[in-house]
């Protein structure tokens, strides 16, 4: 059996209980060394075979899984955050399915949730934004044309932008082309939930300068939108004048 496990955003106690159990029982661990906190590997049992996938190809990763499977071993494929977000797990799952190797997925706390915690922010404020757009700038990995940043920015929804720390000037330009102003609040969260986490509040126009001044070049998320501002409506759910399925209004 192969288990794809989300390691969470960084802090070792932000992996799920299930993920932790699977790690401690695994015979083989293949972890994404560029981003997964190596502290997680301390959970590995004695004799566990450990591979860092940073220098491996897809075929090599699958090769390790196939060998483990043939020996009746359990493999944990440890991905950063949640494996469904930029985790490149689909291609692994399809190759495993073709080999008739059983697999399961254990979710993790994505870094965009870790970043919200670091910011002490709520992405979905009534009348500010009820939508979170998870996206990235096109780099060496292309992004479908219909998802070009300015088109997404035209919604003025909350945006969590991954994998784009090296492209902040064109990012600002595309965000502004889409309708955000240069003054729209933005934040850069570096290594959310890691011991060396850093949070920078800035604006859409100030992203590049803020990153440069603080030497942030990778492992950061860019958060954009008025959820970072001070104006919002209180929720209906907890409004004393609002009646719903579980509660009568206490103020008429
Ligand atoms: N599956 C992961 C994302 C992997 S893509 C998840 O759910 O979070 C890698 C990108 O994620 C990085 O370039 C960075 O933009 C972001 N990232 C991952 N961990 C991060 C963290 N702890 N803090 C800030 N950004 C992070």
All residues at 6 or more sequence positions from 166 whose CB lies less than 8 Å from its CB, including other chains: 139, 217, 218
Q: Does the C-beta of 200 come closer than 6 Å to ligand 1?
A: no
50: confidence class by pLDDT, cuts 50, 70, 90: very high
- Judged on CB neighbours under 10 Å (0-12, 13-18, 19+), 6 is buried
131: confidence class by pLDDT, cuts 50, 70, 90: very high
pLDDT per residue as tens digits for the range 198-242: 999 999 999 999 999 999 999 999 999 999 999 898 888 888 888
Give the per-residue pLDDT at 135: 98
For the chain, the distance separating the N- and C-terminal CA atoms, rounded to the nearest angstrom, is 58
Q: Does the C-beta of 189 come closer than 6 Å to ligand 1?
A: yes
From residue 85, give the alpha-carbon distance in Å to each of 16, 27, 80, 153, 233. 17, 26, 9, 20, 30
- The number of the ligand 1 atom at minimal distance from the alpha carbon of 79 is 1
Q: How many residues does the chain have?
A: 252
DSSP string, 114-183: HHHHHHT--S--TTT-S-EEEEE--SSS---GGG-HHHHHTT--EEEEES-GGGHHHHHHHHHHTT--TT
pLDDT surpassing 80 at residue 252:
no
Tokens of 19: 């993920």
Ligand 1 midpoint to CA 108 (Å) = 12
| Tally of CB atoms within 10 A around 22 | 23
pLDDT (average), residues 127-149: 95
H or E stretch at 217:
none
Q: Does the C-beta of 174 come closer than 6 Å to ligand 1?
A: no
DSSP string, 22-52: HHHH-SEEEE-TTTS-GGGGGGSPTT-EEEE
Interatomic CA distance for residues 117 and 185, integer angstroms: 17
pLDDT surpassing 90 at residue 190:
yes
User: What mean pLDDT, rounded, does the chain reach?
Assistant: 96
pLDDT (average), residues 56-73: 98
Q: Does the C-beta of 82 come closer than 6 Å to ligand 1?
A: yes
- Judged on CB neighbours under 10 Å (0-12, 13-18, 19+), 137 is buried
Q: In this structure, which residue's CA is closest to atom 9 in ligand 1?
A: 163
Angular region, 103: left φ>0, alpha ψ -120 to 50, beta rest:
beta
Give the per-residue pLDDT at 204: 98
Considering the entire predicted model, what is its pTM? Answer: 0.95
Interatomic CA distance for residues 167 and 246, integer angstroms: 47
251: confidence class by pLDDT, cuts 50, 70, 90: confident
Dihedral sign (CA 225, 229, 233, 239): positive
pLDDT (average), residues 246-250: 87
Top pLDDT among 137 and 139 is at 137
């Amino acid at each position: 059996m192969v288990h794809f496990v989300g390691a969470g955003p960084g802090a070792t106690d932000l992996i799920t209980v299930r993920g932790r159990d699977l790690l401690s029982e695994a015979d083989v661990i293949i972890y994404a060394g560029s981003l997964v906190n190596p502290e997680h590997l301390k959970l590995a049992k004695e004799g566990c075979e450990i591979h860092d996938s940073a220098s491996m190809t897809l075929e090599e990763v699958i090769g390790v899984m196939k060998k483990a499977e043939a020996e009746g071993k359990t493999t944990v494929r440890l991905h950063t955050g949640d494996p469904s977000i930029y985790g490149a797990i689909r291609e692994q799952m399809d190759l495993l399915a073709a080999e008739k190797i059983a697999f399961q997925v254990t979710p993790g706390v994505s870094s965009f949730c870790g970043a919200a915690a670091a910011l002490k922010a709520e992405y979905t404020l009534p009348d500010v934004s009820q939508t979170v757009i998870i996206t990235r700038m096109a780099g060496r990995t292309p992004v479908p044309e219909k998802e070009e940043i300015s088109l997404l920015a035209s919604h003025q929804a909350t945006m969590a932008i991954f994998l784009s720390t090296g492209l902040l000037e064109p990012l600002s330009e595309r965000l502004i082309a889409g309708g955000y102003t240069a003054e729209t609040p933005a934040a850069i969260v570096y290594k959310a939930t890691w011991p060396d986490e850093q949070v920078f509040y800035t604006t859409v126009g100030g992203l590049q300068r803020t990153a440069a001044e603080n030497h942030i070049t990778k492992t950061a998320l860019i958060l954009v939108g008025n959820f970072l501002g001070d104006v919002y409506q209180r929720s209906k759910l907890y409004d004393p004048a609002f009646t719903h399925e579980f509660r009568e209004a206490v103020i008429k």
